[in-house]
C-alpha cells in the first residue's frame, strides 16, 4: 500500500495538479521558480548544501564533502544548507539520520539551514517536498521532455537479468513506439496500469565545466532513458536533486567524483526545466592505501562514527579528511595540523586536486596526538572534555581505582603520557604501569634489565633515594632525576665506562624494575606518578624476582 505522500505524488502526476504546499514553490509557484532566469542569480550570496541519504553511517568521504561545503560557505560569506534525501525508501536505515547529525555536531559543522533550523526554503527533508517534484514532472511531460512508460517493470527486470547472464544488451523498443498519446495514457491510468516517468535524454555529446576537473566532453549517451519517477510514485535522485537545488537557490554544488558521470543528465534536466544550473565541483574519491576503493569490504573503518568511537578527536578527523585531495601548502604557517577556523582561512576550491586521495592512517594517528596535545595546552572546556573522556577510559579499565582518579590525578597522568598514545582510549594502555604489576619475565624485560652485576646496587640506590626524599622532593621530577644522574656519574667513574653509559644503564634498570617496559615517560616522571609507597613496593618486588631467578639458575641440573 502506498503511503499518503506517495499516493499524493501519484495523483499529482496523473491529474496534472500540484498537491498541498510542502515546499517553497508548490503548484504554479513551483513552475515560476523553474522559469527563473540566470540573471536572477547574478550576484547572489553563495549557497551550498550537504545532502546525505539516511541509508547508513556517515562515510569518511561524506564527512569530507560536508567539510568542504562548510569551508566554502564560511570563506565566501555564504550559507551552508543540510538537506536529507530520503526518497529511496527501500534503503532507509533507522537511526542513521540521527547518527549523521550527531557526527556533524561533534565535528562542529553547524549548518545555517537544516530540518532543525529551517530557513525560507524548507522543508529540508525530501519526503516532505513531494508536490514540488510532481509539479516539475508535470512540466517535463507537458513540454515533451519526459514520458510515461507503461511497460511492465517485471519484463524490464527480466531483460536486465538476461543481459547479465548472456552479457548481451537486449534491444529496447524505440521510445516513441512505447509512449502512448495523452488519451491512451489516461485510459491506462484509469485501468490502474503501473508506470514510470522517464526523461528523454538528449542524444548528443556534452561539454561540461567543473571547478575541479575543468572542461570535460562526454560522448552522447546510448543508455536507456533514466527514470525520474518510480512506479510507486517516489521521485528518483536525479529529479529530486535538481529540483531541490534550484528551489533552494543553491549556487555551487560540491559533491563526490562518483556523480561526475551523471552531470550531463543533470544539466539536461536544468535545461529542460529552464533553470540556471549551479556551478559544480566534484571531489576526488577516497581510496585505500593500496589504491582500492574505500569500502567496508576492504576491511577497516570507513565510517566517521567508528573513528570517533575509538577515541579519535573530531578535530583530528576533520583535519585528516581535509588533507585528502586538497593542497594546503602556502597558507600562513604551512602546518598540516589545523583547527577548523584555520581551515576556513586557508581553504580554496582551486587547491582541490582531481587525483584520488589514499587513506594513510599513520597520518591520522599523528594528527590525533597533535590535537590532543593542543587541547591540553590550551585548557578550557576542550581540555576538560578530553580529561573527562580519559578518566572514563582509565576507570573503565581499572574500576577498582576509580575513586582515586580525581581530576588533578587524571590530568597528571595524561600530561605525563601525552605524545605516546594515539587516542584518548589508548591512554589507559599507556598508563597501565601505574595500575598493574610489571611482568619481569618477558624477553623485552630481560633485555631491558641489562648487566646483572649492577642491577641490585642500582635498585638499592633508587630505594634509598625514595626513602630520604622529602614530600616535596618526591613530587619534584627535576630533583629526582638529578639525584639519579649524580649516582650514575659516580657509577660510571668507578667502572671506567664511557661518558653517558652510566646514566643509560641506571635509567634502564630502574625502568625495568618499575615498569618492565622499554618505552614510557622519564624515570623522574614515573617516580612522581607512582609516589614513594608504590615505587618502594615495585623496587622491592623487582629485587625479590631477581633474587628468585638467580637462585633458580644456581640450582644444579637434575
Indicate which residues carry an active-site annotation: 296
Classify 211 as helix, strand or coil. coil
Cis peptide bond upstream of 123, omega within 30: yes
Angle at 526 between CA 524 and CA 528, to 5 degrees: 70
Tell me how far the alpha carbon of residue 127 is from its chain's centroid: 26
CA distances from residue 299 to 292, 294, 357, 364 in whole angstroms, order as listed: 11, 9, 17, 17
Q: In what order do the strands lie in the sheet with 196-199?
A: 146-149, 196-199, 227-229
Helix pair 130-142, 237-247: axis angle to 10 deg:
100
Enumerate the H helices of 279-336 as residue ranges.
304-309, 314-323
- The radius of gyration of the chain's CA atoms, rounded to the nearest angstrom, is 33
Query: Exposed/middle/buried for 109, CB within 10 Å: 0-12, 13-18, 19+?
Result: buried
Q: Is 330 helix (H, G, I), strand (E, B) or coil?
A: coil
Stretch (H or E) spanning 50? strand 47-50
Q: Taking a C-beta distance cutoff of 8 angstroms, is the pair 228, 239 a contact?
A: yes
209 Cβ contact list (under 8 Å, min separation 6): 215, 279, 280
Q: 3-state DSSP call for residue 45?
A: coil
Using an 8 Å Cβ cutoff, are 221 and 172 in contact? no
The terminus-to-terminus CA distance of the chain in angstroms comes to 85
Instruction: Please give the Cα distance from 327 to 347 (Å, whole number).
Output: 9
**Cell, residue 528:** 612522581
Antiparallel, parallel or unpaired: β 252-256 and 279-283: parallel
Q: How far is CA 152 from CA 12, 131, 149, 161, 193, in A?
A: 22, 26, 9, 15, 9
Amino acid at each position: 500500500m502506498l503511503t499518503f505522500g506517495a499516493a499524493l505524488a501519484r495523483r499529482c502526476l496523473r491529474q496534472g495538479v500540484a498537491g498541498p504546499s510542502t515546499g517553497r514553490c508548490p503548484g504554479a509557484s513551483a513552475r515560476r521558480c523553474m522559469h527563473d532566469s540566470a540573471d536572477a542569480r547574478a550576484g547572489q550570496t553563495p549557497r551550498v548544501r550537504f545532502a546525505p541519504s539516511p541509508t547508513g553511517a556517515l562515510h569518511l568521504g561524506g564527512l569530507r564533502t560536508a567539510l568542504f561545503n562548510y569551508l566554502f560557505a564560511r570563506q565566501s560569506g555564504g550559507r551552508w544548507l543540510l538537506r536529507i534525501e530520503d526518497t529511496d525508501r527501500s534503503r532507509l536505515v533507522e537511526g542513521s539520520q540521527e547518527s549523521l547529525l550527531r557526527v556533524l555536531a561533534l565535528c562542529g559543522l553547524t549548518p545555517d539551514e537544516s530540518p532543525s533550523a529551517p530557513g525560507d526554503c524548507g522543508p529540508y527533508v525530501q519526503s516532505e517536498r513531494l508536490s514540488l517534484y510532481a509539479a516539475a514532472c508535470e512540466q517535463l511531460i507537458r513540454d515533451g521532455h519526459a514520458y510515461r512508460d507503461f511497460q511492465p517493470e517485471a519484463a524490464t527486470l527480466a531483460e536486465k537479468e538476461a543481459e547479465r547472464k548472456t552479457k548481451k544488451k537486449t534491444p529496447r523498443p524505440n521510445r516513441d513506439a512505447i509512449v502512448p498519446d495523452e488519451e491512451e495514457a489516461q485510459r491506462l491510468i484509469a485501468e490502474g496500469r503501473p508506470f514510470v516517468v522517464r526523461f528523454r535524454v538528449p542524444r548528443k555529446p556534452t561539454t561540461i565545466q567543473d571547478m575541479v576537473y575543468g572542461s570535460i566532453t562526454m560522448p552522447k549517451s546510448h543508455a536507456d532513458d533514466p527514470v525520474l519517477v518510480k512506479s510507486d510514485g517516489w521521485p528518483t535522485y536525479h529529479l529530486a536533486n535538481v529540483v531541490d537545488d534550484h528551489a533552494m537557490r543553491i549556487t555551487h554544488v560540491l559533491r563526490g567524483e562518483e556523480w561526475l558521470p551523471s552531470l550531463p543528465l543533470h544539466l539536461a534536466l536544468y535545461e529542460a526545466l529552464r533553470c540556471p544550473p549551479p556551478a559544480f565541483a566534484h571531489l576526488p574519491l577516497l581510496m585505500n592505501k593500496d589504491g582500492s576503493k574505500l569500502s567496508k569490504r576492504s576491511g577497516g573503518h570507513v565510517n566517521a562514527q567508528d573513528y570517533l568511537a575509538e577515541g579519535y578527536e573530531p578535530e583530528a578527523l576533520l583535519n585528516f579528511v581535509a588533507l585528502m585531495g586538497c593542497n594546503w601548502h602556502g597558507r600562513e604557517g604551512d602546518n598540516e595540523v589545523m583547527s577548523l577556523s584555520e581551515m576556513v582561512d586557508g581553504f580554496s576550491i582551486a587547491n582541490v586536486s582531481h587525483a584520488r586521495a589514499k587513506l594513510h592512517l599513520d597520518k591520522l594517528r599523528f594528527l590525533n596526538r597533535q590535537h590532543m596535545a593542543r587541547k591540553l595546552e590550551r585548557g578550557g572546556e576542550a581540555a576538560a572534555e578530553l580529561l573527562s573522556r580519559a578518566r572514563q577510559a582509565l576507570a573503565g579499565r581499572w574500576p577498582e581505582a576509580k575513586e582515586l582518579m580525581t581530576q588533578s590525578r587524571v590530568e597528571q597522568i595524561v600530561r605525563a603520557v601525552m605524545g605516546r598514545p594515539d587516542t584518548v582510549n589508548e591512554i589507559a594502555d599507556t598508563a597501565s604501569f601505574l595500575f598493574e604489576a610489571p611482568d619481569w619475565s618477558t624477553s623485552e624485560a630481560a633485555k631491558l634489565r641489562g648487566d646483572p652485576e649492577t642491577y641490585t646496587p642500582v635498585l638499592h640506590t633508587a630505594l634509598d633515594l625514595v626513602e630520604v626524599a622529602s614530600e616535596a622532593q618526591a613530587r619534584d621530577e627535576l630533583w629526582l632525576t638529578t639525584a639519579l644522574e649524580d649516582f650514575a656519574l659516580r657509577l660510571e667513574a668507578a667502572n671506567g665506562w664511557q661518558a653517558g653509559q652510566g646514566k643509560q644503564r641506571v635509567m634502564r634498570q630502574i625502568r625495568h624494575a618499575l615498569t618492565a617496559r622499554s618505552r614510557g615517560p622519564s624515570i623522574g616522571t614515573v617516580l612522581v606518578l607512582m609516589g614513594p609507597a608504590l615505587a618502594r613496593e615495585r623496587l622491592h618486588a623487582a629485587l625479590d624476582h631477581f633474587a628468585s631467578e638467580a637462585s633458580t639458575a644456581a640450582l644444579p641440573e637434575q
